[in-house]
Amino acid sequence: MKPLIIALALILAAPLPAYAHPRTPRDLRELAHQQGIRIGTAVDLAALRGEADYRTVLNREFTHVTAENAMKWESVEPERGVFIWRDADALVENARRNRQRVRGHTLVWHNQLPAWLTTGVAEGKIDDRELRDILRDHITTQVRRYKGKIRAWDVVNEVVEEDGTLRQSLWLTHLGPGYIADAFRWAHRADPQAKLFINDYNLEWNAPKIETTLSIVKDLQARGVPIHGIGFQGHLGIQYDYPGDWANVMRRFADLGLEIAVTELDVRMVLPVTEEKLATQADYYRRALTDCLSVEACRELTVWGFTDRHSWVPGWFDGEGAACLLDENLAPKPAYRALLSVKRPR
């Protein structure tokens, strides 16, 4: 028995194989593969075409992409019945070449609608019945064009107000709450394989929005409407507390059988930038990914732009910015390195 004991001791003393201690990933794409999650970004199409360094980083780092604006209604159908697919097609083709999956954003929203639509409704030139037909045709046309090429669609975006009531949008006013179910049904018919999401901001912490959105999902499911996922936008600011119950909120939606995605993550700060603010920002990014990885149903984390060179934040929040993982020169910030250090909770 002595040789057997010696052999066993040698086995126990041997170092664990490399896969037991995975090295720190070299970039976000490798992190995504290590952790079994899609890591994505919103894409600025002008930068994709015109900036080689932007394009290089995009295609090196990310396994998932979302068009920042190129798939919104005013971009693809600026005139009634006249569709312009150039930018959206470019995103989808670039993703195909670089082994990236695509999130379609967004089919129904109250913002960035074309003037012909909003003016026509306001002036009574488009009645409610015609508006419903227009919405159906728009969804069907767009989803069919990218059938089999888009993994997931944000079907309805920001349909709940801060107080938990349904948003008083053109769609609710003229079509009633049934437009939400209709949008999901039409999108599913156009591409039965695509994952269909409801997407909103402040779902990370706002109790009225959370409860109303849960109710919407349950109602859709009870009526057999195809809904597959929930998108938490994740627009955070370091001047506010991190939403510490976020993982539990994710679990409440996961318990309904939904796929979970963080769809638009960024972490802004009041300028100027300081080392202390960058450290806090890095902690928020780290906690967001950790929360996602702690919930088995969370399969995607997408940042809303990856460089401060192209960020929506300064244009919307006066005196704020520096919200992205890379600075204006595409240099990694502490937040980028913080994401690479995250391990899936056991």
Q: Return d(Cα 21, Cα 19) in angstroms, integer.
A: 5
Q: Return d(Cα 73, Cα 301) in angstroms, integer.
A: 24
Structure tokens at 337: 């390195």
Residue recorded with tokens 């954003």: 105
**Neighbouring residues of 82: CB distance < 8 A, sequence distance ≥ 6:** none
CA dihedral 186, 192, 194, 195 (to 10 degrees): 80
Burial class (CB in 10 A: 0-12, 13-18, 19+), 88: buried
Residue 279: CB atoms within 10 Å: 13
Count of residues making up the chain: 346
Say which DSSP state 24 is in.
P
Residue 259 among the catalytic residues:
no
Q: Return d(Cα 161, Cα 99) in angstroms, integer.
A: 37
> Among positive and negative, which fits the CA dihedral 278, 45, 55, 34?
positive
Helix axes 246-254, 275-293, angle to 10 degrees: 30
Structure tokens at 265: 């993550």
3-state secondary structure of 88: helix
Q: Return d(Cα 206, Cα 251) in angstroms, integer.
A: 15
Residue recorded with tokens 């159906």: 136
Dihedral pair phi/psi, residue 54, rounded to 5°: -60, -45
Instruction: Catalytic residue, from 68, 158, 264, 300: name it.
Output: 264
**Catalytic annotation, residues:** 264
